[in-house]
């Protein structure tokens, strides 16, 4: 299959003084250069996943890197056979990743980077005094994680700070703690927060799971990696992959993530073929029998109707 498109995953913590103006200019640049995706902008920086033809993605990267505040931005670049999004969405939020950790000192105190090649050596046989900590949410690590990694029972990254007492009980403060997430943005704050709470040797996997997969083949990553685009999950491990996800309905092994076919529920969960047949894409008998049930198309990904979508809405055409 010809792969003329690219998917770019990126973030950069940098002070943006006029977020409204930056958002407008950036949104227009994306439209004019045929870029589609989701981009979050705040006074603390930018975080996004976008896709487009290779030449358009090249222009996008050059545009961001040309700005002094984003000159050291690290793009994770993957080839793809089509757009990974249906439209462009650029939004302003309080944080570029929702954490509730807003003290700027936390970012300045972030953990040192461990590059993918060094992490590969560690993950093969994790020493007793090293903890590999997954800071992602349940729906993410339930479908894929690093072998022997510690996971947290959280539904959203903003729940991470509330787990600090639990972590203090489970991890010796003298241990070497290596945090990881999908692309690195969560670990910038998570690692700093751990250091502020007494953990002495905190590090972060540079570029997260995606960069590790691109550069080192994803060895010892179990399952698939949850991603925030139309693919939903992607293969990372080219060496020793295995399925670890369990169907929410039947408990069978599966690596497919879906949304419940019931519009009112929309729960995100792993679903096998037999589980899909049992409740027609719903997570339970209750959801099948109550509410507005969408037709299950095999993917469990229900794209919102564009309904005359206009990328210029809210912007002045130029």
- pLDDT attached to residue 309: 66
Residue 49 CA: distances (Å) to CA of 5, 53, 74, 163, 187: 13, 14, 12, 28, 17
The pLDDT tens digits for 15-37 are: 999 999 999 999 999 999 999 99
Class of domain 5-92: alpha beta
Mean of the per-residue pLDDT values of the chain? 95
The pLDDT tens digits for 98-110 are: 999 989 899 999 9
Q: Using the predicted structure, report yes or no on whether residue 163 has a pLDDT greater than 60.
A: yes
For the entire predicted model, the pTM comes to: 0.93
Assess whether 181 carries a catalytic annotation: yes
Closest CA to 180 of 224, 233, 114, 128: 114
- CATH 3.30.70.100 in the chain is located at 5-92
Q: What is the mean pLDDT of residues 282-307?
A: 88
- CATH 3.40.250.10 in the chain is located at 104-223
Cα–Cα distance between 201 and 13 in angstroms, integer?
A: 22
The pLDDT tens digits for 255-273 are: 999 999 999 999 999 999 9
Cα–Cα distance between 318 and 315 in angstroms, integer?
A: 9
Closest CA to 106 of 186, 182, 190: 190
CATH number for 104-223 (one of 3.20.10.10, 3.40.50.1820, 1.10.260.40, 3.40.250.10): it is 3.40.250.10
- pLDDT attached to residue 231: 93
Cα–Cα distance between 100 and 160 in angstroms, integer?
A: 9
- Catalytic hit among 12, 30, 57, 181: 181
The pLDDT tens digits for 184-221 are: 999 999 999 999 999 999 999 999 999 999 999 999 99
Residue found under tokens 């999950």: 233
Cα–Cα distance between 103 and 100 in angstroms, integer?
A: 9
């Amino acid at each position: 299959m010809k792969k003329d498109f690219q998917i770019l995953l990126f973030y950069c913590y940098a002070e943006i003084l006029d977020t409204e103006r930056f958002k407008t200019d950036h949104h227009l640049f994306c439209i004019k250069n045929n870029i589609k995706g989701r981009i979050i902008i705040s006074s603390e920086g930018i975080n996004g996943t976008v896709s487009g033809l290779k030449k358009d993605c090249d222009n996008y990267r050059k545009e961001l890197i040309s700005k002094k505040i984003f000159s050291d931005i690290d793009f994770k670049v993957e080839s793809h056979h089509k757009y990974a999004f249906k439209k462009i969405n650029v939004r302003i939020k309080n944080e570029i990743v929702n954490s509730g950790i807003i003290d700027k000192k936390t970012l300045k105190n972030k953990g040192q980077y461990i590059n993918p090649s060094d992490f590969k050596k560690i993950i093969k046989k994790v020493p007793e005094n090293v903890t590999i900590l997954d800071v992602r949410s349940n729906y993410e690590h339930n479908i894929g994680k690093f072998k022997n990694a510690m996971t947290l029972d959280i539904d959203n990254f903003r729940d991470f700070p509330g787990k600090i007492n639990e972590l203090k009980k489970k991890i010796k403060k003298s241990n070497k703690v290596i945090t990881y997430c999908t692309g690195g943005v969560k670990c910038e704050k998570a690692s700093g927060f751990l250091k502020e709470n007494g953990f002495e040797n905190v590090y972060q996997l540079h570029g997260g799971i995606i960069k590790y997969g691109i550069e080192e083949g994803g060895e010892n990553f179990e399952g698939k990696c949850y991603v925030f685009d139309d693919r939903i999950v992607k293969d990372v491990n080219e060496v020793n992959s295995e399925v670890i996800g369990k169907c929410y309905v039947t408990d069978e092994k599966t690596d497919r993530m879906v949304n419940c076919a019931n519009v009112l529920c929309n729960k995100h969960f792993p679903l096998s073929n037999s589980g899909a047949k049992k409740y027609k894409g719903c997570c339970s008998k209750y959801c099948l029998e109550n509410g507005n049930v969408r037709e299950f198309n095999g993917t469990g990904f229900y794209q919102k109707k564009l309904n005359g979508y206009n990328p210029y809405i809210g912007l002045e055409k130029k």
